[in-house]
Amino acid sequence: MIAGVSKVVIEVDDQARALEFWTEMLGFELHQDSTSGTERWIEVSTPDRGLTLVLAPRQRARSSASDALPTSNVFFFCDDLAETYDELRSRGVTFPQPPVELSFGWWSMFEDREGNRFALHPRRTT
């Protein structure tokens, strides 16, 4: 049986720039940075090591989506959305969608330096 998700691949244009964004701005930890020939494999993990992102070179055109929607299927959660929003903005993270309450609950959207947009929502306490 499947026990969980081990890694999620995020396509990036510049692996070094993406590594800096995820570690220095979002507080992820470098898990692996290795090369094989001309290819570089970079993994970063959330501080709780619950999720590992692979920062892979972009292989295809960036998906198009409305400016009001994420371009990634990855949704991150936090304990306090307003606090996380303020903290990440102070670090220079761009939020095309500040926190807003919709019919399904509170959410926000941030963007990495590669133009990928990710959803951010509070952890459910129910």
Domain boundary assignment for the chain: 7-58, 67-126
Pair of tokens at residue 72: 């990634």
H or E element that contains 111: strand 105-111
Q: pLDDT digits over 3-20, tens only?
A: 677 899 999 999 999 999
Q: Is 7-58 CATH 3.10.180.10?
A: yes
Full pLDDT tens readout for the chain, 126 residues: 666 778 999 999 999 999 999 999 999 999 999 998 899 999 999 999 889 999 999 887 766 667 666 677 788 999 999 999 999 999 999 999 999 998 888 999 999 999 898 999 998 754
Tell me yes or no: is domain 67-126 CATH 3.10.180.10.
Answer: yes
Looking at residue 80, its pLDDT comes to 94
What's the DSSP call for residue 21? I
**Residue position matching structure tokens 């590594």:** 19
Beta strands 105-111 and 52-57 are unpaired
Topology alike, domains 7-58 and 67-126: yes
R_g of the chain, CA atoms, integer Å: 15
pLDDT of the residue at 69: 67
pLDDT at 74 (0 to 100): 86
Q: What type of residue is 8?
A: V
